[in-house]
Amino acid sequence: MASLKDRIDGLRKTFEESAREIGDAKSLEELRTAFLGRKKGHVTLLFEDLRSVPPEDRREAGRLLNEFKSFVQARLRDLGEKAIPGAKYAAGRVTGTSSVTAGATVIHSDEDLTLPGRKRYVGAIHPLTIFEEKIERIFLAMGYTIEDGPEIETDYYNFGALNFPPHHPARDQWDTLFIKGDLLLRTHTSPVQVRVMERSRPPIRIICPGRVFRHETPDPTHLPMFLQVEGLVVDEGVTFAHLKGTLVHFLRALFGETVKVRFRPSFFPFTEPSAEVDIECLVCSGGDPGCRVCGGTGWKEILGSGMVHPRVLANVDIDPERYSGWAFGLGIDRTAMLAFGIPEMRYFYENDLRFLRQFGDL
Ligand code: DAH
């Protein structure tokens, strides 16, 4: 043990003597190799000798050696900072010796300069928000205002006031998630129409985006929770031509002037007449019989619409003899799928950053 201590002391002296000579990165690297070099470094060799130390002394010898190694490393770091101001020098394995000799950079032992840099990501707006805001801007430009309503609704606002008679089979079309008694999760944004008409008088021009809920089994185009935007116009002399003109304008502003749109007769208890609107499938353009979005039909239904049923107006004390209105409800997620060319609605909700990072402004 004594001899080990002596050897260490001797080496410490040698180290300090050489340290005085250090003037640049090159001599510093030579000193480092002399002591910590992997094959013939003094410290390395001392560690090799540890094997021949009797077991009962090995612990203490190891401690002394480690202490000396730390000393050498710390000194080299100091010397590095002095010899090359501003540089970090750690006395371990040095990668990229050429840049050390160039004198410009001294490399931290743990750094592997061949690794690519770590990119910092800035948060981004969710694709559904981007899309919803685009819809809002189109209607705001036409003088509509944005309204809001509760996600937990009563049977009356979700169904009754919208002209669904109690126990009418039309209710089955909306697979309702009931809460308790009269309360349910709204199945569409149409109850907001009723709330707005109750608290304001024509002329009314509103849209209402929001979450809706249905008892659905998830598939590529259905989820138990999704987004809709409702639209409502009530005034004197409002006709189906206004409905058609506005919706065509809206869809062209959203998808471009050349988008193909078709109106189909339909039925909703709260509108008469009613129409559903399809746009061409922008995922397969009608060319894929196995398309997961349109099922090969080439069309995708994106909204329901119609002239507000006189009974709905009467329910909120708006005189149907004097006023008429039109309304629509659009599936935001489904329409965004077409706009972005996404075959799976679930992608929007899984928060997979690889998916979310792909979206910029439309
Ligand atoms: N609420 C309907 C649905 O969820 C969509 C709808 C159809 C809304 C016609 C309307 C409308 O305002 O007039 O399927």
Answer whether 328 contacts ligand 1 (Cβ < 6 A): yes
Q: Which of 208, 206, 207, 204 is nearest to 235 (CA)?
A: 204
Burial (0-12, 13-18, 19+ Cβ within 10 Å), 193: buried
Q: CATH for 127-359?
A: 3.30.930.10
- Cα–Cα distance measured from residue 206 to residue 194, given in angstroms and rounded to the nearest whole number: 12
Q: Write down the H helix ranges in the chain.
A: 2-21, 25-36, 42-49, 55-83, 97-101, 127-141, 155-158, 190-199, 240-255, 310-315, 332-340, 353-356
pLDDT 10s digits, 253-299: 999 999 999 999 999 999 999 999 999 988 787 778 888 778 888 89
- Cα–Cα distance measured from residue 301 to residue 330, given in angstroms and rounded to the nearest whole number: 9
Q: Which of 207, 203, 246, 251 is nearest to 228 (CA)?
A: 207
**Predicted TM-score of the model (pTM):** 0.68
pLDDT at residue number 106: 56
| Residue among 190, 212, 223, 330 to mutate when testing ligand 1 (max atoms within 8 A of CB) | 190
- Cα–Cα distance measured from residue 351 to residue 323, given in angstroms and rounded to the nearest whole number: 45
Residue 177: strand, helix, or coil: strand
Domain locations in the chain as residue ranges: 2-109, 127-359
pLDDT 10s digits, 146-176: 999 999 999 999 999 999 988 877 676 678 9
Say if CB 237 and CB 307 are below 8 A apart. Answer: no
Write out the two tokens for 200. 């304001």
**C-alpha angle 146/324/158, rounded to 5°?**
55
CA of 356 to the centre of ligand 1 (A): 29
Residue having the nearest C-alpha atom to atom 2 of ligand 1:
329
- For the beta carbon of residue 211, count every other beta carbon within 10 angstroms: 13
- Cα–Cα distance measured from residue 4 to residue 18, given in angstroms and rounded to the nearest whole number: 21
Residue 13: CA count within 13 A, CB half-sphere: 5
Q: Report which ligand 1 atom has the smallest distance to the Cα of 306.
A: 13
Answer whether 331 contacts ligand 1 (Cβ < 6 A): no
Averages of pLDDT over each 10 residues, the chain, 362 residues: 83 90 84 90 89 87 91 88 59 42 54 80 87 97 97 96 84 83 94 97 97 91 94 98 98 94 96 96 81 84 96 97 98 92 91 84 46
Say if CB 303 and CB 247 are below 8 A apart. Answer: yes
pLDDT 10s digits, 302-325: 999 999 999 999 999 999 999 999
CA of 97 to the centre of ligand 1 (A): 70
